[in-house]
Structure 1
Amino acid sequence: MTSLLLRLAGPLQSWGERAAFPAVRDTAPFPTRSGLIGLISAAEGRGREENPQDYAALEFTVRVDRPGVLLSDYHTVGGGYPKNRTAATAGGGNKGAAVITRRHYLADAVFVVAVTGADDDIDRIGAALESPHWAPHLGRRSCAPDEPFLLRTGVRDPDAELRTRVPLSSPHRSDRQPRQHDNGAGTVRVDFLRERPPPGGAGNGASLSVQDMPVSFAPQGRIHGKRHLYRTTEDLSRSLLTEPADLHRRLIDYALETTA
């Protein structure tokens, strides 16, 4: 088993976890498994009709560097045009009125994700992410990721990398209730989300159930199942914290290091 590390950062990202096209298009507070597998399968050039169960053995660990701020976009489509130039409503009708949605985003959020699987699978996925068939996006096509995006491949101990080596983005001043803060002991507290009990046993964190396990991405038959996550808040060395002016250089230096 080996891993690769992705840094998901950008002005906006959105990880929907409910209906595909509701009036309110929500976002989860962290990258969903469905969104991450969609990102990987798009990089590999797979169509929506292909079975995502090929990725069922992948395991994801998410470090929440910065939770971001929830942003709601009042969005309209059409309106003021003849019926044949106006989007159809959810009921199939077309009255020439605007279709209104409210789309939610995470602004200024940063996550580092470890993707773990069989060596051959991770090698293939890493190659696809380095030269993607379709450009990666952070939940929606309009949400492009910052660079560096793929930090490292061939990681043998992803938990140790996330806890002791990967540079940590400093909290943004606009974060009203940042989960990451100095606890006065030379460390900072950072949230993690894992798909298996954290080190030290399940008692270390809260268990939650989410409906984001992709069963089908087919446009007319999207299906998602449940999975369990373990959320922990852990003390990391304050030396990982990096101010914005130095962050890009430090991330590039880390990405170019020889994997141990």
Structure 2
Amino acid sequence: MSVLLLRLAGPLQAWGSTSRFTQRHTEIAPTKSGVIGLLAAARGQRRTDPLTELLGLDFGVRIDQPGQILRDFQVARTLDGRDSMPLTNRYYLSDAVFLAAIGGDSELLDGLHEAVRRPQFPLYLGRRSCPPVAPVTLGVRPGTVAEVLGDVPWQASKRLRERGPSTVGLEALLDAPPGAEATETFQDEPISFDPAHRQYGWRAVVRTRVLAPNPDGRPPVAAGVPGGPALADHDPLTWL
């Protein structure tokens, strides 16, 4: 298996899987349907086009910089200005960075990599008001989604990387393998983006943690040195 890596970063992101009517929520990490939609847009697919080639892809996402939840609201009026539309609350992730991994056939992923580099339609991080910053694709690598997410260096801002250790533990959400016990489920498996008949299946997710290297991080401090880990034979509770 090969894995396509996408660095999803921008001032705002919004990845909703349960948004309805006047409440437009966001998940804490990119959804599979949102990332598949981004790839379809890069290829120039219309919403009514079938997603056949993209439906069997494996998916995982690593939360490199969780950001903060931001709430905004919007008001609108009809074209003639006579009637007001309902107030809409919209939630976003501000200053977040994610590493998305898409696993599948290497030939298909190579084509998706080139499409993201030269997209036919503009790319957005969930909503049209959320463009990405910096190059989105990090290329295609061999391995499984879980393996690659543990190999790629931490993608947070440089300020956070320089303050962090040389190895960091990061939360990741992965497609649950067949037969594995899922941590949670989302109605996030895209079937069709046709506005007249959108369809999403249920997706089983495993929430885990992966260790990622941080080349810009501080080297480990020796045991017993101020600021470093305690000596192995020191137990402050022995007097109890």
Segments of 5+ residues of structure 1 without an aligned counterpart are: 87-94, 174-180, 243-260
SS of corresponding position for 1:96: coil
- Report the counterpart of residue 89 of structure 1 in structure 2: none
- Report the counterpart of residue 230 of structure 2 in structure 1: none
Structure-1 separation of matches of 2:180 and 2:80: 55
Deviation at 1:34, TM superposition (A): 0.8
Q: Deviations over 1:53-104 (max 9, x none)?
A: 33111111211101111111011112xxxx6525xxxxxxxx6124310111
Letter in 2 for 1:190: L
Structure-1 separation of matches of 2:99 and 2:152: 12
- Report the counterpart of residue 156 of structure 1 in structure 2: 142
Q: Number of aligned pairs? A: 215
- Report the counterpart of residue 174 of structure 2 in structure 1: 194
Q: Please identify runs of 4+ aligned residues in structure 1 that moved more than 6 A.
A: none
- Report the counterpart of residue 147 of structure 1 in structure 2: 134
Q: Tell me, yes or no, if the aligned pair for 2:154 and 2:214 is still in contact at 8 Å.
A: no
- Report the counterpart of residue 189 of structure 2 in structure 1: 213
Normalized against structure 1, the TM-score is what? Answer: 0.74
SS of corresponding position for 1:11: strand
- Report the counterpart of residue 123 of structure 2 in structure 1: 136
- Report the counterpart of residue 204 of structure 2 in structure 1: 228
Cα RMSD after superposing both structures: 2.7
Deviation at 1:238, TM superposition (A): 4.7
Q: Tell me, yes or no, if the aligned pair for 2:153 and 2:212 is still in contact at 8 Å.
A: no
Deviation at 1:172, TM superposition (A): 8.1
Letter in 1 for 2:12: L
SS of corresponding position for 2:62: strand
User: Would the alpha carbon gap of residues 167 and 24 (structure 1) be closer, same or farther in structure 2, given more than 3 Å must change?
Assistant: same
Structure-2 separation of matches of 1:16 and 1:232: 21
Segments of 5+ residues of structure 2 without an aligned counterpart are: 219-240
